Amino acid sequence: MSALGRRAFASLAIVIVVMAILLFTAAGTLHYWQGWLFLLVYFTASVVITLDLMRRDPALLERRMRGGPFAEKEPAQRLIMAFVSVGFIALVVVPGLDRRFALSHMPPAVVIAGNVLVLLGFAGVFLVFRESSFAAATIEVASDQRVVSSGPYALVRHPMYAAALVMLIGMPVALGSWWGLLLIVAILPLLIWRLLDEERLLEMNLPGYRAYQGRVRYRLVRWIW
């Protein structure tokens, strides 16, 4: 395995371990089948995407590993990503607390549906990575970047965000928490803020992007916005 692959899997292992610690500490128990199933789904999908990038597009994998608030160049994006990071942590902790205090109950079929949403979100991310090698974790324009208008980019201008939104909605459902769904109300404005700021940067720095906006009207959800 390459050095990049080792770093990628080490980072993934750290993320999964931290998520497990946050989730089961908040739940106060390891007897939380929804948590174990969600972690299995999340880990498996992450491994599949990482292996695909290692084989097909290591440059994109390298770009994806440079993420987080401190990797952003713009102050506004650093602030947005700081809030998004807190929101992601809350999406794990709040369902755990919900489990601890038995605040809500979801039938197993609904929990399974939540995991399906998480997988659909990952599938959307997979398609985006297959279509564009410029889907970095930070907002930037590479020197050789071009406008991608095929595949999922022919449907909405920001398919990565659309896929992420599906995944984020699925997470609290997969963890059996109705209360966790309320966090989406707080995270969605951050997602929109980041998306609009990214569009501003692309309009100014990526040749052909304005023409692409004219061809693909919808930003996030087709026929809505």
What pLDDT sits at residue 74? 78
pLDDT band at 142 (very low <50, low <70, confident <90, very high): confident
Structure tokens at 22: 């946050």
Measuring CA to CA, which residue among 189, 200, 201 is closest to residue 225? 189
CA 19 – CA 130 distance, rounded (Å): 27
User: Could you give the CA distance from residue 62 to residue 66 in angstroms, rounded to a whole number?
Assistant: 7
Where helices occur in the chain by DSSP H, the ranges are 3-27, 33-56, 58-65, 75-101, 108-131, 159-174, 178-181, 183-205, 209-215
pLDDT tens for each residue of 7-28: 999 999 999 999 999 999 999 9
Give the model's pLDDT for residue 62.
Answer: 87
Say yes or no to pLDDT of 34 above 80: yes
Cα(84)–Cα(69) distance, rounded to whole angstroms? 9
Residue 35's nearest CA partner among 103, 120, 100 is: 100
What would the pLDDT profile of 57-107 be if each residue is shown by its tens digit?
A: 898 888 888 777 777 777 888 888 888 899 999 999 999 999 999 999 899
Map residue 176 onto helix, strand or coil: coil
Contact 117, 165 (CB under 8 A): no
Among 160, 131, 156, which residue's Cα sits nearest to residue 218?
A: 156
CA distance 3 to 218: 39
Least confident of 66-80, 125-139, 165-179: 66-80
Model pTM score: 0.92
Name the residue ranges covered by the structural domains of the chain.
3-215
Structural fold of domain 3-215: Four Helix Bundle (Hemerythrin (Met), subunit A) (1.20.120)
**What is the rounded distance in angstroms from the CA atom of residue 178 to the CA atom of residue 191?**
21
**In whole angstroms, what is the distance from residue 125 CA to residue 160 CA?**
6
pLDDT of residue 75: 82
Neighbouring CB atoms inside 10 A of 86's CB total 14
- pLDDT bucket at 219, cuts 50 / 70 / 90: very high
What is the 3-class SS of 107-125, one letter each residue? CHHHHHHHHHHHHHHHHHH
